[in-house]
Each structure stands twice: as structure tokens, then as C-alpha cells.
């Protein structure tokens, strides 16, 4: 009998068949955080996002609402939008045969279509993808019958913080992106999730972070306790690279949330980091068994961003954390194929919630 907990075997991080199953049974069935709503401010603005094996087109309609569609022309299956982002004036037109779709996805024109009076255009619109907006982001789900957003997405926040009000006080939907950095990580997405969920490594590879959050040096992640926020060190004035003062506390943040850091994992691909004067929001895009793109937004009050204030000291702190974490994940990835890790490794008791993540993963893969 041992207090150590077994991990997944190495094949779960390298096997293309397992990655394909994850794409189908997890990323194409769960709610997936796709884009920041404010990145598409005007009618015709769009962005394409890889969700599982599908390219998804998210766009702003003339009515001001966001919609999502499979990025596939209904005629011969050509990729409708080949750019990652852009703006169309009135409609999306397939570059292959010029089938044209309105911003609401309806088929509005095609060469020679008028000569075919028996064709019901409403049957040949773009395939719609479910979309919900929350925390200032558009979340999409490819499933025909999506799981409960309230249970799975909002529920992850309730499970971590104890309630939704705690995150709503930060008013993420009213914040502005002060900096966005995209990381191309040569590691499996699960290694990144596991790394974010634990702090057993913090004293080893995060000297700047443990200076600001001394309790992290003890190896217990803030996510270990429901509702707990790691407290700033006594000599620390702000969540910055040198511990100096950041910006004014965000409107709405409660006194008991001041000088504290909260981390939240929303499975399968979102990390939220809350500090008094800004929010750090990660989205992962798994592209291969050994490649994951991570897009990280640093969110500040509108006044901070609009006035051009220098955010570099707060950005630098978590940018270093990201680089340190992703470097560690990339060091682990090659070993996942080693015979030494064929049967997996072990977790310390303080990492037990990673074991719960593994159980969640296996449950979904068995569905």
C-alpha cells in the first residue's frame, strides 16, 4: 500500500489513435472556448478556430450577435475562409465556385442557382455550431446535443471558487486585452493541464512566482482548496515581475479577494488566473499528440488599456511562468515514448486532483 497515485501510461501522450479519440470524444463534444468576443467588434468580422478535427468559423452578424459555423462550403466541401481572421463586407463567398452565404449562414447566391427553381436555399446554408458567450469569450460546441454549459463550464468555476459571484466580480466581459501572446508548445495538451493544476514544481522552476506568492514554495497549488486564493507576500505590492505596485483594484473585486491569486481549470482547455488588478486567460488548441498552441490574454480595465499605460511588469511575471511551464512540458514529452514510462509515473498526494482529471478523461474516452 502506498500514498502515491499512478498516472496515465506514456502512450496517452504519444499515440495518434488516442489523440484522435480525444479530438472526437472530448474537443468535439465539450464546450470549447474559441475567441474573445471583443476581437470581432463589427458586422462581418470573423475568425477561424480549430476545434478537434474541424475548422470553425465564428463571425459577427448584422444584428450584432455572434454565430459559429463549420468552415465548409455546402457545394463541394471547400474551405470557405482560408484566413485565420478578417472582415467581409456583406457575405462569405467560397473561393472555389463562388457559393455565397450571408452573415447568418444562409445560402444567398450561387452561379446558375436561379435556373434551378426546385432548390430550397434554406436547406443548403452553412452548418451551425452551438455558441454561448460568457466571461467575454465565445464558447462553441460541435455536439448536436451539447452538454449543460451551466454544469460543465460554470460548474468548474463553482467547484473551484464555491460560487459564480466570485468570478463575476472581476467583470471579465468588460475588460480589455492589454497583451496577447501565442505559444507553440511541443507537448501534449494533457501535460500542460497537469502542470497548471499542481504546484509541486513551483519552488523548483518558478522563482519569480514564489517571491510574489510564498505559499507556492510549499508545493500546494491554490486549486487544492475550494475558494482559496494564494496570498501575496508581505513585502509584495502587486502581481508584477518585481512585486511592485500594479494598477488599481478592478471595480467589483471584493476586499477578501484583494492581494490574492486564484487559479481555475475549466476542462478541457481553459485556465483562468485572477489577481486584483488584472486577469490572465489561457486557451489551448491541441493540434497533434505532441503539439499544442496556447493563446494567453492579459486583461485589464478599459481605462488602463485605452490610456496606453505600461503593462509590461505584470505581463512579464506570468509570461515567465508560461515559458518555464511550457519548457518543463516539452522536457517531459520525449520521455512519454520511453519504455521507462510505458506504465506511467506517480503523483504525490498534493497532486491528487490530477488523478481526478485522468478519471474524467478516461470516462469521456470510454463513452
Where are any strands of DSSP class E within the chain? Answer: 5-6, 32-36, 45-51, 54-60, 66-70, 85-87, 91-93, 100-102, 107-109, 128-134, 137-141, 176-185, 230-231, 260-266, 270-275, 278-288, 291-300, 346-347
Range 144-157 average pLDDT: 98
Helix H or strand E encompassing 322: helix 312-332
At 306-347, the pLDDT tens digits run 999 999 999 999 999 999 999 999 999 999 999 999 999 999
**Alpha-carbon span 62 to 45, nearest angstrom:** 10
Q: What is the DSSP letter of 43?
A: T
Which range is least confidently modeled, 115-124, 138-147, 161-170, 272-281? Answer: 115-124
Q: Is residue 367's pLDDT more than 90?
A: no
Q: What is the DSSP letter of 239?
A: S
Q: Is residue 1's pLDDT more than 70?
A: no
Which range is least confidently modeled, 48-52, 108-112, 154-158, 333-337? Answer: 108-112
Band of pLDDT at residue 112, cut at 50, 70 and 90: confident
> What does the pLDDT read at residue 213?
96
Band of pLDDT at residue 224, cut at 50, 70 and 90: low
120 vs 88, higher pLDDT:
88
pTM for the predicted model, two decimal places: 0.96
> What does the pLDDT read at residue 34?
98
Whether the CB-CB separation of 360 and 152 falls below 8 Å is answered with no
Amino acid at each position: 500500500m502506498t500514498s502515491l497515485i499512478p498516472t496515465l501510461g506514456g502512450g496517452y501522450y504519444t499515440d495518434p489513435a488516442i489523440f484522435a479519440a480525444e479530438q472526437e470524444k472530448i474537443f468535439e463534444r465539450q464546450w470549447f472556448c474559441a475567441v474573445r468576443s471583443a476581437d470581432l467588434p463589427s458586422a462581418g468580422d470573423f475568425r477561424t478556430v480549430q476545434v478537434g478535427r474541424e475548422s470553425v468559423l465564428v463571425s459577427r452578424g448584422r444584428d450584432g450577435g455572434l454565430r459559429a459555423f463549420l468552415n465548409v462550403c455546402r457545394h463541394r466541401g471547400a474551405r470557405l475562409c482560408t484566413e485565420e481572421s478578417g472582415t467581409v463586407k456583406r457575405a462569405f463567398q467560397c473561393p472555389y465556385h463562388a457559393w455565397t452565404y450571408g452573415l447568418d449562414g444562409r445560402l444567398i447566391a450561387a452561379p446558375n442557382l436561379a435556373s434551378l427553381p426546385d432548390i430550397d436555399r434554406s436547406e443548403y446554408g452553412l452548418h451551425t455550431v452551438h455558441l454561448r458567450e460568457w466571461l467575454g469569450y465565445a464558447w462553441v460546441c460541435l455536439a448536436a446535443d451539447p452538454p449543460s454549459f451551466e454544469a460543465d463550464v460554470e460548474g468548474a468555476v463553482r467547484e473551484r471558487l464555491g460560487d459564480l459571484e466570485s468570478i463575476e466580480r472581476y467583470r471579465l466581459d468588460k475588460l480589455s486585452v492589454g497583451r496577447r501572446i501565442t505559444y507553440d508548445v511541443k507537448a501534449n495538451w494533457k501535460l500542460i493541464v497537469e502542470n497548471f493544476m499542481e504546484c509541486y514544481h513551483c519552488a523548483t522552476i518558478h522563482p519569480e512566482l514564489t517571491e510574489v506568492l510564498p505559499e507556492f514554495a510549499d508545493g500546494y497549488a491554490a486549486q487544492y482548496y475550494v475558494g482559496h486564493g494564494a496570498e501575496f507576500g508581505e513585502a509584495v505590492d502587486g502581481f508584477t515581475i518585481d512585486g511592485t505596485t500594479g494598477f488599481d483594484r478592478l471595480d467589483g473585486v471584493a476586499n477578501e479577494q484583494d492581494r490574492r491569486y486564484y487559479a481555475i481549470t475549466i476542462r478541457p482547455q481553459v485556465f483562468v488566473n485572477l489577481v486584483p488588478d488584472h486577469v490572465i486567460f489561457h486557451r489551448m488548441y491541441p493540434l497533434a499528440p505532441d503539439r499544442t498552441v496556447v493563446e494567453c490574454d492579459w486583461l485589464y480595465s478599459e481605462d488602463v488599456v485605452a490610456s496606453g499605460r505600461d503593462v509590461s511588469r505584470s505581463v512579464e511575471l506570468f509570461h515567465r511562468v508560461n515559458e518555464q511551464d511550457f519548457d518543463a512540458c516539452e522536457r517531459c514529452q520525449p520521455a512519454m515514448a520511453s519504455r521507462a514510462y510505458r506504465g506511467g509515473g506517480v503523483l504525490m498526494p498534493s497532486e491528487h486532483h490530477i488523478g481526478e482529471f485522468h478519471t474524467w478523461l478516461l470516462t469521456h474516452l470510454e463513452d
